[in-house]
Amino acid sequence: MANKLRIIPLGGLGEIGKNMMMFEYGNNSLVVDAGLMFPENDMLGIDYIIPDFRYLLSKKDTVRGVIITHGHEDHTGAIKHLMAELDAPIYATPLTRGLLEVKLRDAKMHQDVSLNTINAGDRVHIGPFDVEFFHVCHSIPDGVGLGITTPAGLIVHSGDFKFDHTPVDGWPTDYAKLAEFSGRGVLALLSDSTNADSAGWTPSEAVIDPAFDQVFRDAPGRILVATFASLISRIQQVANAAFRHGRKLALVGTSMVENARMAQKLGYLEIPDGLLVPTDEALKMSPKKVAIMTTGTQGEPSSILGRLSEARNRQFDIIANDTIVLSSHPIPGNEEMVHRTINKLLQRGARVIYDPIAPVHVSGHASAEEMKLLIHLTKPQNFVPIHGELRHLTQHAAIARAMGLADENIAVVENGTVLEFQDGKMSVGERIPGGYVYVDGTGVGDIGPGVMREREALAENGFVVVNMRVKNGQMLGTPELISRGFVFVRDSEELFNSAQEHIAKVAAKANGDLRQKVETALSEFFYSETKRRPMIFALVNEA
Amino acid sequence: MANKLRIIPLGGLGEIGKNMMMFEYGNNSLVVDAGLMFPENDMLGIDYIIPDFRYLLSKKDTVRGVIITHGHEDHTGAIKHLMAELDAPIYATPLTRGLLEVKLRDAKMHQDVSLNTINAGDRVHIGPFDVEFFHVCHSIPDGVGLGITTPAGLIVHSGDFKFDHTPVDGWPTDYAKLAEFSGRGVLALLSDSTNADSAGWTPSEAVIDPAFDQVFRDAPGRILVATFASLISRIQQVANAAFRHGRKLALVGTSMVENARMAQKLGYLEIPDGLLVPTDEALKMSPKKVAIMTTGTQGEPSSILGRLSEARNRQFDIIANDTIVLSSHPIPGNEEMVHRTINKLLQRGARVIYDPIAPVHVSGHASAEEMKLLIHLTKPQNFVPIHGELRHLTQHAAIARAMGLADENIAVVENGTVLEFQDGKMSVGERIPGGYVYVDGTGVGDIGPGVMREREALAENGFVVVNMRVKNGQMLGTPELISRGFVFVRDSEELFNSAQEHIAKVAAKANGDLRQKVETALSEFFYSETKRRPMIFALVNEA
């Protein structure tokens, strides 16, 4: 055990290794990222999901530090849950740190957590882990990858990355550092697999500028650009376009305003003096003189764009000749909501521009050719695809295999599977308990498959409660029926009357277990009448 | 009114004009297609959706015929609902007719409906509508478009189409007929907009053959190809590949077996003698000698592929070296389920191949350049994009505009909006009552927004029933609590005990309206404890 390095991706079968990873060497360990996952469409009522990190907590005394590679929710969103249990310092770049501080302050934990600022290029010893941070391009500034020198060897962790030769902030991924790693010998490369099924090379952020120029030239009225609040480079690009085309810019929505303010303060966003105007001022200006940025690209009904699409926004409405740009892609699972929002905006008379209508968004993740470049730059002995569903890892592994890596030097593992490195060799170790933990309201992990199945059944067919009064084994009067989600009650008088008669017949014949007999009989009755199976609960009250 | 043609797309704001259209001229009308829509992810418990055709029924005596352009569910799936109300003959090509017969037989309606077989190239007078049927390529054989000569002029309706120069059945779209229409003068073109945001030209079905050859060459064991049961040309291609590579073929699943049998009988599918083997025989053969075709490409848990992904299939299981091909794209909204199924199949050790990993599927709909070709071939005076969401119609209109059609000659309308043609001019007329009709079990249209909101609320947070016994205004004993979908009851004893105490306190103080007071108090109590808002129902039983 003493000279064995263990790497453990934590979480369920989702994006493997994306939300949280643990590096373990003897009695020392290091955590990389603490993110959340968004619930899928059939995870009913769930707010978000965090990794099951019970294994990590069973070794909490060994944790020497927590590194957050960048400021996206899927890498930061579980930080309050993790830090509530852990006493270890966090390491993050300035922008990432700023975003973490907001989260910790909201959770009233900022006093109790030690936050260390690091910068790309820094080298920090965290227990036996000698960590070199290198800059990577991604769809948020200040992202880093990691070179982690351990007694077992050097591990390179890509973070979320792309190789953008013309990034908006002029700061490309650190090729020199990657090449330097290869000179030293890389025991294993852990690399972002998100876009493994995209051939070629992800377009540079720079391709968006001409697309925006076109939009700004053609727009007959106001321009509203929706994007992610964390996409600071996009705010920069829209600000630049507004400046070039003589429009003022207003930012709308708390998260975007706050992120922009922080990014400006920290020097990640440079907005020309006088360009930004308050929203109410922008709304009074000539439509051709103004651009507005906001969030809501995922079709969230409560977002500003969602409210605009249904004329439920308080401050302003869609007006004729508005041009709305969705500078984003739908997060998988959100396609329907996004498309519905676009349709509704078109219904209100807006022009709506989105990829693929025009190249107003590009991915923040490497495509296949960039993945190959990373492998060639680092020349790893072993390769571990991370940050993707199993299908992405499998495809990323196929790419590595095509480049000459042998099968025994490639490990496609799921969250909860331990990878071991000893004497220069990689092997797949034990499985630790793992999976998703659902967060719903203040409940963390109390919603399991049982409650989820109940929600599914209720969503499918609703329920009926039968309230009976009974004396000496005889039902008194007519039972009260309450239903929701089953049928439209006002149009179903006949159905419910027949049900009550049916219950009376069953109750008259029943000797013993009235509750069970009524529930079974009523379930059959409703199925034969409606081909639906609501949940049924009979209550027997002794009068 | 007498010389005015009215065209009315029926349904909600979904795929406009796709599922059902009505052509009205004086006291005569013609229905084109009778399809269903699949429910979106937030339409809880709904089986499927049909268009609201109340307007059509208000004029049912004017209907001279119903044309079904091809055999897909979104054009045929509402046929039993329509024909239950209508006394008019159906016109369809042989394969489409065969598929309709199955539906009408299932609904025990085949005796009462008059079905007429037409073939591409036929010309049929249906009241004042002189209909010429022309062949179009699509992802099911025997699809037709329509040239409808009316007293107001010639309308060309594309059906669902693509321009495949090398279709599997060797039968390209009828260019000559389209050009002939243009010679006669086309008053309006109604054209399929599904892929309006796809640039270029949809690849031919022929590109799939080399991809399948590669799959069949590389597969180390059995090959399972999943596709749509209606995709007869794909069954043909897989049969051909199996024959070329010396494998036998088994078809698994009722719908695929039945469709293949009908297509063979009608001459749309030619399978070499001896190629097809029964499934149980195929399962006994050497894995390298067999290919299996089945359905389940949309991740449906009850499908064979869905069951295989969870080792719940009765007849056989995934074994090592199985190669599974998803020869399909996810229907919008199904992405998560499809990807989850792929991940689970990979988990079971199968190799899984799907687009974009390899070009094993192509769309059945025209892309932008094909749309342009159709416009140039037919040279319409007026243009109406149909078959797509509003965003697709809008983009298709932009394509037409870029080709020189004037704004006043393009109509982007939603379902329920009447288009009128008179004296060679198109105008947008009234709106008729329209929208979706939800089908759930045997209920058609009884589930409205109210019940849907109840299902949403139940899916989100479940419910709690409080059963109280009361005498002389005083609550007796401890109330019974029943909950589902709210919290995991076994772990929530403390919460429910506190809730019961809270109810007792409220009940003791309440004078009048105990029910309402308990419900309000309990809702607040649960929210403060869990930040969840279950539906709450208090029952007051006089003892």
| Residue B262 at interface with chain A, using a CB cutoff of 8 Å | no
The answer to whether A365 is a known catalytic residue is: yes
Model confidence at A133: pLDDT above 70: yes
- Closest listed residue to residue A388, CA positions, set A136, A160, A133, A82: A160
Residues of B with a known catalytic role:
192, 365
Model confidence at B5: pLDDT above 70: yes
> Above 0.85 for ipTM, yes or no?
yes
Residue B435: which pLDDT band, with cuts at 50, 70 and 90? confident
CA atoms within 13 A on the CB side of A101: 13
CB A196 within 8 Å of CB A399: yes
User: Min CA distance, A356 vs chain B (Å)?
Assistant: 6
> Which residues does residue B137 pair with via DSSP β-bridges, in sequence order?
B162
> Which residues does residue A457 pair with via DSSP β-bridges, in sequence order?
none
Phi and psi torsions of A55, nearest 5°: -60, -45
- What's the pLDDT tens digit per position in A197-220? 999 999 999 999 999 999 999 999
What would the two tokens of residue A477 be?
Answer: 């009067």
For chain A, what is the mean pLDDT?
A: 95
- What's the pLDDT tens digit per position in B368-420? 999 999 999 999 999 999 999 999 999 999 999 999 999 999 999 999 999 99
User: Min CA distance, B368 vs chain A (Å)?
Assistant: 11
- What's the pLDDT tens digit per position in B304-347? 999 999 999 999 999 999 999 999 999 888 999 999 999 999 99
Residue A490: which pLDDT band, with cuts at 50, 70 and 90? confident
Output the pLDDT for position A2.
57
Q: Tell me which of B16, B43, B44, B467 to substitute to probe the interface with A (most A C-beta atoms closer than 10 Å).
A: B44
What is the rounded CA–CA span in Å between residue A32 and residue A293? 32
Average pLDDT on B493-522 reads: 93
Residues 167-226 of A with CB under 8 A from B: 197-199
CB A361 within 8 Å of CB A328: yes
Predicted TM-score (pTM) of the model is 0.94
How far from A235 is each of A169, A232, A241, A242, CA to CA, in Å?
Answer: 12, 5, 10, 10
What is the rounded CA–CA span in Å between residue B316 and residue B294? 13
Task: Classify residue B110 as exposed, middle or buried by CB count within 10 Å of its CB (0-12, 13-18, 19+).
Answer: middle
The beta strand positions in B33-142, using DSSP E, are 48-51, 63-67, 90-92, 115-117, 123-126, 129-136
Phi and psi torsions of A63, nearest 5°: -75, 120
| Residue A263 at interface with chain B, using a CB cutoff of 8 Å | no
Query: Which residue has 């209100």 as its token pair?
Result: A348
Residues 502-541 of A with CB under 8 A from B: 529-532, 535, 537, 539, 541
User: Min CA distance, A486 vs chain B (Å)?
Assistant: 7
Task: Look up residue B410 and give its DSSP letter.
Answer: B
The answer to whether A70 is a known catalytic residue is: no
- A27, containing H or E segment: none
User: Min CA distance, A244 vs chain B (Å)?
Assistant: 27
Task: Point out the residue among B40, B442, B485 whose CB comes nearest to the CB of A451.
Answer: B485
Omega prior to A356 cis, within 30 of 0: yes
CB A77 within 8 Å of CB A463: no
> With pLDDT > 70 as the criterion, what percentage of chain B qualifies?
100
Strand, coil or helix: A313 = coil
CB A448 within 8 Å of CB A520: no
Residue B473: which pLDDT band, with cuts at 50, 70 and 90? confident
Average pLDDT on A520-530 reads: 96
| Residue A40 at interface with chain B, using a CB cutoff of 8 Å | yes
For chain B, what is the mean pLDDT?
A: 95
Q: Which of A52, A160, A169, A192 is catalytic?
A: A192
Would you say the C-alpha torsion B271, B272, B275, B278 has a positive or negative sign?
A: positive
| Residue B476 at interface with chain A, using a CB cutoff of 8 Å | no
Q: Tell me which of A49, A218, A454 to substitute to probe the interface with B (most B C-beta atoms closer than 10 Å).
A: A454
A538 CB contacts (<8 Å, ≥6 apart)? A465, A466, A468, A514, A515, A516, A518, A519, A522
- What's the pLDDT tens digit per position in A333-378? 899 999 999 999 999 999 999 999 999 999 999 999 999 999 999 9
What is the rounded CA–CA span in Å between residue B238 and residue B258? 17
A521-541: b (≥16 Cβ within 10 Å) or e = bbeebbeebbebbbbbbbbbb
| Residue B60 at interface with chain A, using a CB cutoff of 8 Å | no
- What's the pLDDT tens digit per position in B123-167? 999 999 999 999 999 999 999 999 999 999 999 999 999 999 999
Strand, coil or helix: A375 = helix
Residue in chain A nearest B453 by alpha carbon: A485
- What's the pLDDT tens digit per position in A216-264? 999 999 999 999 999 999 999 999 999 999 999 999 999 999 999 999 9
Q: Do B458 and A455 touch (CB under 8 A)?
A: yes
The maximal CA–CA distance of chain B, rounded, in angstroms, is 89
- What's the pLDDT tens digit per position in A85-99? 999 999 999 999 999
- Closest listed residue to residue A355, CA positions, set A313, A297, A299: A297
Strand, coil or helix: B191 = strand
CB B146 within 8 Å of CB B126: no
CB B189 within 8 Å of CB B375: yes
| Residue A343 at interface with chain B, using a CB cutoff of 8 Å | yes
Residue in chain B nearest A543 by alpha carbon: B543
What would the two tokens of residue A388 be?
Answer: 């993707």
Residue B491: which pLDDT band, with cuts at 50, 70 and 90? confident
What is the rounded CA–CA span in Å between residue A461 and residue A114? 50
Model confidence at B13: pLDDT above 80: no
Average pLDDT on A399-418 reads: 97
User: Min CA distance, A458 vs chain B (Å)?
Assistant: 6
In terms of residues, how long is chain A?
543
Residue A511: which pLDDT band, with cuts at 50, 70 and 90? confident
- What's the pLDDT tens digit per position in B441-464? 999 999 999 999 999 999 999 999
Q: Do B465 and A539 touch (CB under 8 A)?
A: yes
Output the pLDDT for position A280.
96
Dihedral Cα A105, A107, A109, A113, nearest 10 deg: -80
Output the pLDDT for position A13.
72
Residue B2: which pLDDT band, with cuts at 50, 70 and 90? low
Model confidence at A1: pLDDT above 90: no
Model confidence at B84: pLDDT above 90: yes
CB B145 within 8 Å of CB B136: yes
Model confidence at A389: pLDDT above 70: yes
Model confidence at A478: pLDDT above 80: yes
User: Min CA distance, A492 vs chain B (Å)?
Assistant: 9
Average pLDDT on A438-463 reads: 94
Task: Point out the residue among A339, A442, A541 whose CB comes nearest to the CB of B541.
Answer: A541
How far from A394 is each of A391, A397, A398, B310, B439, CA to CA, in Å?
Answer: 5, 5, 6, 19, 40
Residues 399-428 of A with CB under 8 A from B: 414
A453 CB contacts (<8 Å, ≥6 apart)? none
Task: Point out the residue among B389, B487, B543 whose CB comes nearest to the CB of A443.
Answer: B487
Which residue type is seen at B417? T
> Which residues does residue A426 pair with via DSSP β-bridges, in sequence order?
A421
In terms of residues, how long is chain B?
543
What would the two tokens of residue A124 be?
Answer: 């920090």
Residues of chain A in contact with residue B41, where contact means CB-CB under 8 angstroms, are 41-42, 336
Omega prior to A89 cis, within 30 of 0: no
Residues 270-329 of B with CB under 8 A from A: none
Residues of chain B in contact with residue A197, where contact means CB-CB under 8 angstroms, are 356-357
Residues of chain A in contact with residue B323, where contact means CB-CB under 8 angstroms, are none
CB A53 within 8 Å of CB A438: no
Task: Classify residue A216 as exposed, middle or buried by CB count within 10 Å of its CB (0-12, 13-18, 19+).
Answer: buried
Average pLDDT on B55-82 reads: 97
A242 CB contacts (<8 Å, ≥6 apart)? A216, A248, A249, A275, A291
What would the two tokens of residue A439 be?
Answer: 């967060």
Could you write out the three-class secondary structure of A171-240? CCCCHHHHHHHHHHCEEEEEEECCCCCCCCCCCCHHHHHHHHHHHHHHCCCCEEEECCCCCHHHHHHHHH
> Which residues does residue B135 pair with via DSSP β-bridges, in sequence order?
B144
| Residue B450 at interface with chain A, using a CB cutoff of 8 Å | yes
Model confidence at A459: pLDDT above 90: yes
B58 CB contacts (<8 Å, ≥6 apart)? none
Strand, coil or helix: B516 = helix
A33 CB contacts (<8 Å, ≥6 apart)? A18, A19, A20, A21, A67, A68, A69, A75, A76
Residues of chain A in contact with residue B484, where contact means CB-CB under 8 angstroms, are 454, 457-458, 463, 535
What is the rounded CA–CA span in Å between residue A72 and residue B388? 34
- Closest listed residue to residue A447, CA positions, set B64, B489, B477: B489
- What's the pLDDT tens digit per position in A421-450? 999 999 999 999 878 899 999 999 999 999
What would the two tokens of residue B266 be?
Answer: 């009608």
Output the pLDDT for position A366.
98
